Structure 1
């Protein structure tokens, strides 16, 4: 049978692998691959969704009610808030608005796996700066902001800083970020990706919204999400705070009507129940501490995670060790050749993770 003639696709897009979601778990498995919140939605959030989201009508394209709540919360103007279907959607919008063919976008690597694809789609060139590697666990897996600043050229249009860094977990400090921003040209967009900010407990960590870095530095946009700490991953809603003109550019590149009414209602209800939700975050933080301490006790060189996941540097044995976890009904996220990210999940999952980790750490150490 003759193959049909298909439309011509940009070769770099044809070669680009689609975003790889964490594997779905079976009924008896723990899914610890996507950094989801293990708790069910709060009853108040579920109740808010009942009968309030007519699915035969388009949502408010601007998510005005949610933007008004966020603007009041952070003391900014309505146009200084942008809402989209997840913070990753805003990343795409900002990079599309700022960079094109011949331009460069800088980010640390390894970091959020969507970064390479969103830069490629824009037509720009990705400049990946290796993370700091050190025998000191307080340093390893962190952004090398000096090297990132050194990499800025006349072609640099955007820089992405992920803190806490996904998938390794460490933060960028306030002092480091301020020194970094002061080295970057004021006309270069800096995206401060703080998807896991609510889980941070480290002293001195940058807090883009609490410190209002977007006011002192109008080229900085701060991203947050309702997917992680607020447990709304299935509804897809995130937001950005920054200069109105910068966010107008993101709005101009956005897919219209992408934030559903359900997502907006659930986000507002989550803000109403924030105290209760943050108690759940505290439980996850405590479990994270238990995991990190126990894994280090087994001999793992686990970086100082301030997120809702931990990182195992498994190197060349990554795929093999991920298979051991999978055989034990624990779905993790392997990054071939580098390591394994394990989300902090249900209470019952912690002991199982530690059992599997213990079973593979000795052979791994013997290989080094």
Structure 2
């Protein structure tokens, strides 16, 4: 048997070629800001919950860790049943994945084909162009207007080639929301053969009486998939648990594309316990919402422009100054996310971190509007 590698006509050893489409796909996770050389740093760039899991959840994780020599079930059946009871939906309407982004990958595999168009607002969740391009589909990006979804423009962007619409409500990275009435009008304009993915990753932080509930909206809309996650409000980002609700035909297709055992035993057990202690967890959500509003009012009072937020982060439309302002905060140990030429996304952190950010904002001149 020969052990030599095949060579090209240039004499260079040949290797298997990745799909050409990958060359145009950006990395999903950006390089995190560099922590300061000295002193503590605060992670305010990934929309993480600043509080660790509750003691009861940590106890569950420790107990489940003793069984990690066993495979989890192919699909997390106990969690599926618990979510079905929690949402009052049939279990066969539920899908799960390693975070909601895992379900996006299932959507790409199950429903998108080369040449299909995918409509979404921009800037929005950074997975959208990646999911579309990975499937060979064509991203159709519709600019936000004042940081908010332009639903009329999105509806107008739908063509006979459109296969899916991705809609983040509230939106990441701007934190803005359109509300139930406008959302329903938009949903009713989308053709029935176009999949609508309603991303409610920040559902629990949306405190307006006008907040939509995708777990209700999907019931009479066969083309609607609603996605949620345990990463944000439930504080389980490190365990990767997401879920979605959809009508049976769509849900079954997504389950077929799920990675077997994609939600591990620790993740399932932690999510089950988190559901049982929701009341205690949501006290923390209320604290985060209160801190969000305190931060926004303080920054507005210092002359910064800050959009209203329905999430666990704030959006500062700092334009061309975004990177330089982010660097000023980073030097003070506050790691925020800069979107070059657009703005800054600042996660609501612990009260201590938020106080430091407000203090730093007094020392940094806000960009001219």
Q: Which TM-score applies when normalising by structure 1? A: 0.93
For 2:115 and 2:64, how far apart are their aligned partners in 1?
47
1:120-179 deviation line (CA, Å, top 9, x unaligned): 10100000011112xxxxxxx111111111111001111011011001001121111111
- How do 1:160-179 residues align onto structure 2 when only pairs under 5 Å count? 160-179=166-185
Query: Could you tell me which of 190, 193, 202 is aligned with 1:187?
Result: 193
1:241-285 deviation line (CA, Å, top 9, x unaligned): 111110111112222211100000000000011000000000000
- How do 1:133-172 residues align onto structure 2 when only pairs under 5 Å count? 133=146, 141-172=147-178
What SS class does the counterpart of residue 332 from structure 1 fall into? strand
Query: How many angstroms does 1:78 deviate by?
Result: 1.0
Aligned match of 2:228: 224
Aligned match of 2:280: 276
1:5 aligns with 2:14: yes
- How do 1:1-368 residues align onto structure 2 when only pairs under 5 Å count? 4-21=13-30, 23=32, 28-53=40-65, 54-133=67-146, 141-209=147-215, 212-362=216-366, 364-365=367-368, 368=369
Query: How many angstroms does 1:11 deviate by?
Result: 2.6
Query: How many angstroms does 1:192 deviate by?
Result: 0.5
Tell me if the contact between 2:75 and 2:262 (Cα under 8 Å) persists in the aligned partners.
no
What SS class does the counterpart of residue 50 from structure 1 fall into? helix
- Structure 1's 354 and 11: CA in aligned 2 closer, same or farther, altered over 3 A? same
For 2:364 and 2:20, how far apart are their aligned partners in 1?
41
For 1:33 and 1:273, how far apart are their aligned partners in 2?
27
**Higher alpha-carbon Rg:** 2
Tell me if the contact between 1:22 and 1:332 (Cα under 8 Å) persists in the aligned partners.
no
For 2:313 and 2:256, how far apart are their aligned partners in 1?
34
Query: How many angstroms does 1:3 deviate by?
Result: 5.3
Tell me if the contact between 2:21 and 2:136 (Cα under 8 Å) persists in the aligned partners.
no
Tell me if the contact between 2:25 and 2:134 (Cα under 8 Å) persists in the aligned partners.
no
For 2:251 and 2:141, how far apart are their aligned partners in 1?
25
For 1:305 and 1:342, how far apart are their aligned partners in 2?
11
Unaligned runs of 5+ in 2: 1-10
For 1:205 and 1:44, how far apart are their aligned partners in 2?
30
Query: How many angstroms does 1:337 deviate by?
Result: 1.1
- Structure 1's 102 and 146: CA in aligned 2 closer, same or farther, altered over 3 A? same
Tell me if the contact between 1:22 and 1:33 (Cα under 8 Å) persists in the aligned partners.
no
Query: How many angstroms does 1:355 deviate by?
Result: 2.4
1:36-91 deviation line (CA, Å, top 9, x unaligned): 11011100001112333411211111100000000111111111011110011111
1:81-103 deviation line (CA, Å, top 9, x unaligned): 11110011111211332211111
For 1:278 and 1:204, how far apart are their aligned partners in 2?
19
Query: How many angstroms does 1:22 deviate by?
Result: 6.2
For 1:6 and 1:359, how far apart are their aligned partners in 2?
54
Unaligned runs of 5+ in 1: 134-140
Q: Count the aligned residue pairs.
A: 355
For 1:15 and 1:102, how far apart are their aligned partners in 2?
15
Stretch moving more, 157-166 or 200-209? 200-209
1:305-337 deviation line (CA, Å, top 9, x unaligned): 010000111111111111111111111111111
Query: How many angstroms does 1:4 deviate by?
Result: 3.8
Query: How many angstroms does 1:21 deviate by?
Result: 4.5
Q: Which TM-score applies when normalising by structure 2? A: 0.93
